[in-house]
Chain A
Amino acid sequence: MQALEQEIKKLVIETLNLEDLKPEDIDPAAPLFVEGLGLDSIDALELGLALQKAYGVALASDSKENRRHFASVRALADFVSAHRKS
């Protein structure tokens, strides 16, 4: 799971062009949106697309569920490992 978290941190940095950040700067339990990394709704869409491409996971349009999956790197890793197709 830690390896997957590391992978997702890299994906977040590359996808969103977080040029000043390294994977170790991201706390896997910290919020990704608004607080923490301070990402916004366009980032969420971009990240959803990247996860879909990398792992074949489909995100539902249910925003409550998504909010839970996107809460942190750790939550994303849990979601990906439960639903990944690749």
Chain B
Amino acid sequence: MMRRRVDRLGRIALQAAYTCQGDAPPRPMVFASRYGDMGRSVELLEQLAEASPLSPTSFSLSVHNAIGALYSIARGDLTAQSAVAAGAETVEAAFVEACGLLSEGAPEVLVVVYDEPRPAPFAHFPEQVSLPHAWACSLRPAGDGATYRLTCGASTGAPERAPGDTLPEELSVLRFLVSGDARFEHHTGSRLWRWHRDS
């Protein structure tokens, strides 16, 4: 009965979470979305502007942690969760948060990343999301197999993109993680995030 309350963004995020977690036992989760379920906030603002009563359902689901909360309710899962938004650095912020949880002793952390294009009247602002997307991955403390490092420093300006590279920027970290590449540099304003894969 809960599915009917969830819009497209929530559905793709939850699908990613369910697929990644499978039957594995509960573990701490980080839900990360740059813009979140902005459509709900727009709907509520429109209702406010018309001085009409606000939809209780939209109100209850307009907070940034609502999608994670639904996951938790649907699974009866009381494990810790956080909801992260950090502009163009949202994925990095989610991984930093996950590393914090790992260093506090969590054996594994599930990171769920999801976004969709901002609705009108916010669609025309820069750094629009190109397409609805959601992905999830499970992080464990370094052990056997490939390990990753993430460092942050000052950016001296983003390099030109390789010609013919049409992948939306918001998917660039995912591409790095699945590519097997040794490194990836993500310039976000004045900061440079360096992703390393040590095989």
Residues of A near any B CB (own CB < 8 A)? 16-19, 38-40, 42-43, 45-46, 49, 52-53
Contact = CB atoms under 8 A, between A and B. Distances in A.
Contacts of B52: 53
B56 A17 contact: no
A38 B53 contact: no
A52 B54 CA distance: 12
Interface string B136-180: 000000000000000000000000000000000000000000000
Contact of B4 (A16, A45, A52, A53): A16
B55 A19 contact: no
A46 B56 contact: yes
Interface in B43-67: 52-53, 55-57, 60
Nearest to B57: A46
A43 B2 CA distance: 11
Contacts of B24: none
A16 B5 CA distance: 8
Q: How many B residues are at the interface, by size bracket?
A: under 10
Contacts of A40: 1
A49 B55 contact: yes
A51 to B, nearest CB: 12
Contacts of A16: 4
A42 B60 contact: yes
Contacts of B55: 46, 49
14 contacts: A18-B4, A19-B4, A38-B1, A40-B1, A42-B56, A42-B57, A42-B60, A45-B56, A45-B57, A46-B55, A46-B57, A49-B53, A52-B53, A53-B53
Contacts of B1: 38-40
A46 B47 CA distance: 14
Given A42-B57, A45-B57, A53-B52, 20 more contacts: A16-B4, A17-B4, A17-B5, A18-B4, A19-B4, A38-B1, A39-B1, A40-B1, A42-B56, A42-B60, A43-B57, A45-B56, A46-B55, A46-B56, A46-B57, A49-B53, A49-B55, A49-B56, A52-B53, A53-B53
A19 B11 CA distance: 14
